[in-house]
């Protein structure tokens, strides 16, 4: 439970950061969240599978890493 409690605020923080800045460098986001770039990449992968039923591509978070930058799209 504690893991989820610490993890969920981090995921929410990640979404809010990207909502505010659009896209950011992997290094900057990792530093802001206090995690390694690998952990951040895991978070991004997890978020990209989150959304609402029926979980079609349009129902999922549009979040991706490309060229060392994290980007949040306008999905959902």
CA dist 58 and 35 (Å) reads: 29
Interface with other proteins in residues 4-43 (CB under 8 A): 4-5, 7-9, 11-12
Q: What are phi and psi of 60, to 5 degrees?
A: -110, 160
The binder of other proteins chosen from 17, 35, 41, 46 (CB under 8 A): 46
Does residue 54 have a cis bond before it (omega within 30 degrees)? yes
> Does residue 50 interact with other proteins by CB under 8 A?
yes
Site residues, other proteins (CB under 8 A): 1, 3-5, 7-9, 11-12, 46-47, 49-55, 61, 76
């Amino acid at each position: 439970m504690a893991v989820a409690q610490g993890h969920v605020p981090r995921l929410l923080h990640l979404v809010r950061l990207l909502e505010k800045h659009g896209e950011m460098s992997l290094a900057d986001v990792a530093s802001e969240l206090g995690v390694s770039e690998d952990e951040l990449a895991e978070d991004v992968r997890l978020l990209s599978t989150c959304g609402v039923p029926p979980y079609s591509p349009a129902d999922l978070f549009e979040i991706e890493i490309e060229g060392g930058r994290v980007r949040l799209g306008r999905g959902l």
